[in-house]
Chains A and B, each alone.
Chain A
Amino acid sequence: MTSKQRRQLTEVLFLLPTIIAFIMVIIIPFIYGIFYSFTDWQGTGTYSKMVGFENYKVIFTEPAFLHSFLKTLEFTVINIITVNVVAFIISLLVTSEIRGRNVYRAGFFVPNLIGGIVLGLIWQFIFSSILPAVGQAIHWDLLSKSLLTSKDTVMFTMVTVNTWQYAGYIMLIYVAAIQNISKSVLEAAEVDGAKYWTRITRIQIPLMANAFTISLFLTLTNSFKMYDVNVALTNGGPVGVFMNKPVQSSELLALNIYQTAFKYNNMAQGQAKAVLFFVVLTVFSIIQVSYNKSKEVEA
């Protein structure tokens, strides 16, 4: 055995534990999952027969699923915008010369350390008890009823909570990117008379393009997969009507899949939805990343 071969063998051996773990917990369940989506599996014991694309056909005619799909897209678009705008603004704030900026940095980041379920329940209390009490005291109609019980405002509550939780995390990525921009470029611009706004739009944002790629990717996948806050804050409610059927007006895709599989005990159909969910999310992410990559520049 030559030293090169030995080296290769060592590399393979070192990789082996990780590869085995990866195959066991990701690859095999994934293949099983795809397989079960073509059966009538109920979650206990084994399936009784293959049903082909029947599960997929059913989900495309199910109002609740189509509604969840549209709501997820709506939530994702709104949430990506609010999280990134808020994160960018506070990252500018905490990289400026203001006093106590380290305290702010920590403060904005802390909500991210709280688990989604806990956070959802805390905010549920705020929305259903505290805000209505305030609203009634100051006679403001919008607030005097719980925002969670109207289908027009429930999306707003989810975006608020998710932004509050997630903006601090995205802020850290922007802060790192802003600090990476060489001071000399900004100083040169200032000497040339560029205003604050111009420096942000013409120098900082283009030079931070790779941070946008990763931040948008993270918020896209995070919003699309939103589950914990959804279940704890709204539980999918309140009820609305879609295609003449009652649907849960804030039930996002992940929650819909979970309910199909566990509440209705319809594992195979839930699995079919999950496969579709994976395909859609993958396509969206690839489009987003390749678009953002094309905008990145080197300084």
Chain B
Amino acid sequence: MKKLIALVLSLALCMMAASVLADIVICQNKVEITAAMQDFAKLYTEKTGVGVKVITGGGSSDYNTVLKAEMASGREPDIWVIEGPTGYELWKDKIADMTGEEWTKYTAAAYMDGDKVVGFPVAVEGYGLAYNADILAKAGIDPKTLTNVDAYKAAFEKLDSMKSELGLDMVVSMVAGTVPGMTWVTGLHNFNVYLTLGNARNDTTYIDQVLAGKVDEARFHEYCQYVDLLFKYSTQDMLLNGTQDAQLAAFANGKAAFYHQGNWMDPSLVQLNPSFEIAYAPHAFLHEDTDGILVNPPSWYVVNANGNKDEAIAYLNYLATSEDGADYMVNKAAMVPAFTNVTLTPSTPLSKSVMEWNAAGKTYDWQQYKLPDGFGMGTLGPIYELLAQQAIDVDTFEIMMKDAIAGIAK
């Protein structure tokens, strides 16, 4: 009897240990795919016996804060996400060199430091103004014509005048509030439209100016007018109070014709079963035509050189080259993979649209992550909110934005 109890106890202990101990710890920033990622991790554990634990920060909580806390606590993750040069510079000393690893053969989007391959592209992501094709058709607007701000102005006006007919609460589902933590939409993604729209992918003219504390006056003026336009055709309640879920719900339930978010919202979008066609139109804020959406690997996985390096790289290789990995990226997480060996096409609407724009080569770069830490969300974000509160007008908005940008150079 005693032996039996001992056996049961030790078995229980073993099982507990197996479930608690993880060989690879991943710290990542996409709340939307946490469940899919955990399922893939479980599958990986079943196939290889290597335990994987996923820690998530992001959405309304701040990923970088979570990561810094994990690092500071001494439980350094084996794989984590960097979002560009700021993240890379910050953790450079800890990041492993992955040059020549198997996955690097299948992508052109790896994060490079000179000739060294250091980052595994998580996906390709894109954003523009997603539109409800049914509503646009009913209002007689051809989305193909939405390539300059004058076309948008006319379209917004027309939709606004037909609101009750079309069952709309607002024309654009847009968020800008600090209380629900949405300043990344304005201070980072929307601001990037100013930085790169119309430019070649590696052109850094405007970000270099901003980092030197300056803006291109004429272009910036047009940009500010565009922000004002978007805000005017949203509702104040959505702008200030709207969470990521509320913003999505308004669009998915047909209460808004346009939606300012990227294809990372697909997993949540399909859960709401939208009954209409969806695709992206460009963030065309200039009077001249700009026909393209903003596409980039938004983030890369990097591997901890001091951690469980070989296991971590093996995991990434499996992710990029196996059928399970492709299935997870495309079908489960609804991402657009950055790998040429993946032949599956996404079935979800936003990702599909991103893939089409990407295949047509009509894309602009993401450069918002070259801004200093906290600048986009913490310094610019509040100014957008002031405009949304109507506490300032668009001219004051322009002055305050320039003032904040001038502060970078100090």
Contacts and interface: CB of A to CB of B under 8 A. Distances in A.
Interface of A: 43-45, 124, 128, 145-146, 148-149, 234-241, 246-248, 259, 262-266
B179 A128 contact: yes
Interface in B383-398: 383, 385-386, 389, 391-392
A37 to B, nearest CB: 17
Contact of A128 (B241, B375, B400, B404): B241
Contacts of A128: 179-180, 241
A45 B93 CA distance: 9
16 contacts: A44-B90, A146-B179, A146-B241, A148-B179, A149-B177, A235-B180, A238-B240, A238-B389, A239-B382, A239-B391, A246-B386, A248-B382, A263-B374, A263-B378, A264-B373, A265-B90
Interface in B352-410: 372-375, 377-378, 382-383, 385-386, 389, 391-392, 400, 404
B385 A239 contact: yes
Interface residues of B, number: 33
Interface stretch (B20-28, B62-70, B317-325, B343-351): B62-70
Interface in B3-62: 62
A128 B179 CA distance: 10
A215 B294 CA distance: 56
Given A238-B177, A262-B62, A265-B90, 14 more contacts: A43-B68, A44-B90, A149-B177, A149-B389, A235-B180, A236-B178, A237-B179, A238-B240, A239-B391, A241-B392, A246-B386, A262-B68, A263-B373, A264-B374
Contacts of A262: 62, 64-65, 68-69
A263 B65 contact: yes
B181 interface: yes
Nearest to A157: B179
Interface string B172-197: 00000111110000000000000000
Interface in B244-277: none
A264 B378 contact: yes
Interface string B225-244: 00000000000010011000
Contacts of B62: 262-263
B179 A247 contact: no
A146 B243 CA distance: 13
B373 A265 contact: yes
Contacts of A265: 90, 373-374
A128 B60 CA distance: 15
Contacts of B71: 44
Contacts of A145: 237
A158 to B, nearest CB: 12
Contacts of B178: 235-239, 248
A208 B241 CA distance: 45
Interface string B130-172: 0000000000000000000000000000000000000000000
Given A146-B241, A246-B382, A259 B179 contact: no
Given A44-B91, A238-B385, A263 B377 contact: yes
Interface string B62-100: 101100110110000000000000000011010000000
Contacts of B375: 264
Contacts of A148: 179, 241
A116 to B, nearest CB: 15
A240 B378 CA distance: 13
Contacts of B378: 259, 263-264
A29 to B, nearest CB: 12
Contacts of A44: 71, 90-91, 93
B382 to A, nearest CB: 4
A241 B64 contact: no
Nearest to B62: A263
B68 A149 contact: no
B98 to A, nearest CB: 21
B383 A259 contact: no
A148 B372 CA distance: 29
Top-4 shortest CB links A-B: A237-B178, A264-B374, A237-B179, A239-B382
A262 B66 CA distance: 9
A293 to B, nearest CB: 39
Nearest to A250: B179
Contacts of A248: 178, 382
Nearest to B385: A239
Q: Identify the interface centre among A45, A149, A265: most chain B CB within 10 Å of its CB.
A: A149
A21 B399 CA distance: 53
B243 to A, nearest CB: 8
A237 B181 CA distance: 9
A237 B383 CA distance: 12
B179 A149 contact: yes
A178 B404 CA distance: 56
Contacts of A237: 177-179, 385
B386 A241 contact: yes
Given A44-B91, A264-B378, A239 B386 contact: yes
Contacts of A241: 386, 391-392
A115 B377 CA distance: 27
A241 B71 CA distance: 35
Contacts of B72: 43
B340 to A, nearest CB: 35
Contacts of A235: 178-181
Nearest to A262: B65
Nearest to A261: B68
A91 B404 CA distance: 51
B382 A247 contact: yes
Contacts of A234: 179
A45 B378 CA distance: 24
A236 B372 CA distance: 21
